[in-house]
């Protein structure tokens, strides 16, 4: 089974208010050393299931568009053949330069995911983003002009103070940009973020769960109507532009994570990397494994994760695969799933595939929790 490869580039200009990722501000001096360390890590870990060419590569962050092409080249070219596979990179509007885009294409990177988040200046400011709506539009035009034929944009909804009108306008404006793929996530409040503290001190208020559901339903219908088909709860694509890298995660395929705090899973062991950049670089330069921890999930945990990931997708959950993986729970699953089908939250396709209905998608977390409760 081919593995997918994730490379984390953690550098950002400023921390966004909602950010809970491992991103570093003011760390530009370390970029060169970090790239060399990441290249060493790829070399060290390219064996066993992670030997040879990956099925897809995703360079995420942080803000990869802050990283010079030469540094990305160090990571990709030394040990990694990327030709002929989906190779994505994330970018943020304020740092997307024409020359960077053109040069990044020459490395074999063929898909770009731009974190525009909103096309409303008030909300962008409220999110603590450092770009404005006009830079967001411009970044998509620039990527297209540079030669990217596969452009994704990220959006956030459920932002404090966001109204349905604001959300509708952003969606309409985004469609005018003609992206091939859109990822839309409802704002989640991470413990390490500035928002967490602001909510705790009652300085900001999130929209209600009903408002968030309304925003989701409007988005779902609107994007589908405009040719972007839903293929995972938060992801929409023009036919043929679904993200292969994400699909392989949801299919529970092995993945190798390179870089700071990156996670990997080889089908048996789940592990995560060092989160301190200085220690990460030194450990890799000393030819040591930058692992910070690992766990070996048991069959029940792996099955729960497989269910959770599969049910998020339009392809749904294969009951055949589930029953083979965990035969002792077959009867219990059947009862649970039959009852959720009767309630209109799940539907069956082709005899053995179960997936969320539109009503189920709106309360997906509750439905998935209900299905995996078989293990509790
Ligand atoms: S750009 Fe992304 S990674 Fe960087 S601070 Fe903002 S949310 Fe975090």
Q: Evaluate if residue 82 carries a pLDDT over 80.
A: no
Residue 243 alpha carbon to ligand 1 centre in Å? 21
237 and 313 co-located in one domain = no
Residue 13 alpha carbon to ligand 1 centre in Å? 9
Which of 249, 275, 290 terminates a domain? The answer is 249
Q: Evaluate if residue 83 carries a pLDDT over 90.
A: no
Residue 25 alpha carbon to ligand 1 centre in Å? 10
Which of 249, 280, 307 terminates a domain? The answer is 249
Counting from 1 in the atom list of ligand 1, the atom nearest the Cα of 15 is: 5
Share of the chain above pLDDT 90, in %: 80
236 and 311 co-located in one domain = no
Whether 284 is covered by a domain: the verdict is: no
Regarding the beta carbon of 15 and ligand 1, being less than 6 Å apart is answered yes
Cα(283)–Cα(276) distance, integer angstroms: 11
CATH number at 214 reads: 3.20.20.70
Regarding the beta carbon of 91 and ligand 1, being less than 6 Å apart is answered no
Q: What is the pLDDT of residue 337?
A: 93
Q: Evaluate if residue 77 carries a pLDDT over 80.
A: no
Q: Which of 160, 173, 164, 184 is nearest to 119 (CA)?
A: 173
Cα(60)–Cα(8) distance, integer angstroms: 5
In this structure, which residue's CA is closest to atom 5 in ligand 1? 15
Contacts of 240 (CB under 8 A, 6+ apart): none
More confident residue, 191 or 289: 289
3-state helix, strand, coil in the chain (%, to 5): 45, 20, 35
Domain containing 343: what range? 299-375
Mean pLDDT of 254-264: 97
Cα(8)–Cα(63) distance, integer angstroms: 9
Whether 184 is covered by a domain: the verdict is: yes
Q: Evaluate if residue 347 carries a pLDDT over 90.
A: yes
Q: Which of 37, 40, 81, 38 is nearest to 57 (CA)?
A: 81
325 pLDDT band (50/70/90 cuts)? confident
Whether 261 is covered by a domain: the verdict is: no
Regarding the beta carbon of 62 and ligand 1, being less than 6 Å apart is answered yes
Residue 326 alpha carbon to ligand 1 centre in Å? 39
Q: Evaluate if residue 78 carries a pLDDT over 70.
A: no
Domain count, the chain: 2
Q: Could you tell me where the beta strands, DSSP code E, fall in 274-320?
A: 291-295, 317-318
Q: Evaluate if residue 376 carries a pLDDT over 80.
A: no
41 and 129 co-located in one domain = yes
Q: What is the pLDDT of residue 235?
A: 98
Q: What is the pLDDT of residue 351?
A: 84
Q: Evaluate if residue 175 carries a pLDDT over 80.
A: yes
CATH number at 348 reads: 1.10.10
Contacts of 121 (CB under 8 A, 6+ apart): 132, 133
In this structure, which residue's CA is closest to atom 6 in ligand 1? 16
35 and 156 co-located in one domain = yes
pLDDT tens-digit profile of 336-346? 999 999 999 99
Whether 279 is covered by a domain: the verdict is: no
Q: What is the pLDDT of residue 353?
A: 94
H or E, element range at 364: helix 364-372
Residue 62 alpha carbon to ligand 1 centre in Å? 5
79 pLDDT band (50/70/90 cuts)? low
173 and 315 co-located in one domain = no
Q: What is the pLDDT of residue 70?
A: 96
User: Dihedrals φ, ψ of 293, to 5°?
Assistant: -175, 165
Regarding the beta carbon of 66 and ligand 1, being less than 6 Å apart is answered no
Whether 255 is covered by a domain: the verdict is: no
113 and 229 co-located in one domain = yes
Share of the chain above pLDDT 70, in %: 99
200 and 320 co-located in one domain = no
Residue 335's Cα: distance from chain center in Å? 33
Counting from 1 in the atom list of ligand 1, the atom nearest the Cα of 14 is: 5
Q: Evaluate if residue 293 carries a pLDDT over 70.
A: yes
Q: What is the pLDDT of residue 37?
A: 97
Pocket-testing residue among 14, 15, 125, ligand 1, by greatest number of atoms within 8 A of Cβ: 15
Mean pLDDT of 124-142: 97
197 and 321 co-located in one domain = no
Whether 365 is covered by a domain: the verdict is: yes
Regarding the beta carbon of 193 and ligand 1, being less than 6 Å apart is answered no
43-55 core/surface letters (b: 16 or more CB in 10 A; e: else): eebeeeebeeebb
- Pairing relationship of beta strands 235-237 and 181-186 according to DSSP bridges: antiparallel
Regarding the beta carbon of 374 and ligand 1, being less than 6 Å apart is answered no
Tokens of 112: 């770009």
pLDDT tens-digit profile of 190-228? 888 888 888 888 888 889 999 999 999 999 999 999 999
321 and 183 co-located in one domain = no
Regarding the beta carbon of 13 and ligand 1, being less than 6 Å apart is answered no
- CA dist list (Å): 146 to 111, 149, 173, 183, 249: 12, 9, 21, 22, 29
Whether 266 is covered by a domain: the verdict is: no
Tokens of 361: 């998608």
310 and 239 co-located in one domain = no
Whether 9 is covered by a domain: the verdict is: yes
pLDDT tens-digit profile of 18-74? 998 889 998 889 999 999 999 999 999 998 999 888 999 999 999 999 999 999 999
- CA dist list (Å): 89 to 9, 31, 65, 348, 373: 10, 16, 8, 36, 37
Q: Which of 325, 316, 315, 314 is nearest to 374 (CA)?
A: 325
Cα(215)–Cα(366) distance, integer angstroms: 18
135 and 237 co-located in one domain = yes
Q: What is the pLDDT of residue 284?
A: 98
Q: Evaluate if residue 170 carries a pLDDT over 90.
A: yes
202 and 350 co-located in one domain = no
- CA dist list (Å): 244 to 50, 87, 214: 18, 9, 29
Which of 234, 249, 264 terminates a domain? The answer is 249
């Amino acid at each position: 089974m081919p593995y997918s490869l994730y490379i984390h580039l953690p550098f950002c200009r400023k921390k966004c208010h909602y950010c809970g990722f491992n991103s570093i501000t003011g760390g530009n001096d370390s970029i060169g050393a970090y790239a060399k360390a990441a290249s060493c890590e790829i070399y060290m870990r390219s064996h066993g299931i992670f030997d040879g060419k990956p099925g897809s590569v995703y360079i995420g962050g942080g803000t990869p568009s802050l990283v010079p092409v030469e540094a990305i080249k160090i990571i990709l070219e030394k040990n990694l053949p990327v030709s002929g596979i989906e190779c994505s990179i994330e970018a943020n509007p304020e740092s997307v330069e024409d020359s960077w885009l053109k040069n990044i294409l020459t490395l074999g990177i063929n898909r770009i995911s731009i974190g525009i988040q909103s096309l409303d200046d008030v909300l962008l400011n409220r999110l603590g983003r450092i770009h404005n709506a006009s830079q967001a539009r411009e970044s998509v035009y620039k990527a297209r002009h540079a030669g990217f034929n596969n452009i994704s944009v990220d959006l956030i909804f459920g932002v404090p103070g966001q109204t349905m009108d604001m959300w509708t306008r952003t969606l309409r404006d985004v469609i005018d940009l003609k992206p091939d793929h859109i990822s839309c996530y409802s704002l989640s409040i991470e413990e390490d973020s500035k928002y967490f503290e602001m909510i705790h001190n009652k300085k900001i208020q999130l929209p209600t769960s009903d408002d968030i559901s309304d925003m989701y339903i409007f988005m779902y219908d609107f994007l589908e109507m405009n040719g972007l088909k839903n293929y995972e709860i938060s992801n929409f694509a023009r036919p043929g532009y679904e993200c292969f890298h994400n699909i392989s995660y949801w299919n529970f395929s092995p993945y190798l994570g390179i870089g700071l705090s990156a996670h990997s899973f080889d089908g048996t062991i789940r592990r995560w990397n060092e989160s301190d950049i200085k220690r990460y670089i030194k450990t890799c330069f000393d030819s040591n494994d930058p692992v910070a921890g690992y766990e070996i999930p048991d069959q029940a945990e792996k099955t729960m994760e497989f269910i959770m990931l599969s049910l998020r997708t339009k392809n749904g959950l294969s009951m055949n695969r589930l029953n083979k993986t965990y035969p002792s729970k077959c009867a219990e699953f059947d009862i649970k799933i039959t009852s959720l089908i009767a309630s209109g939250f799940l539907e069956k396709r082709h005899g053995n595939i179960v997936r969320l209905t539109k009503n189920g998608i709106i309360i997906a977390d509750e439905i998935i929790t209900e299905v995996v409760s078989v293990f509790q």
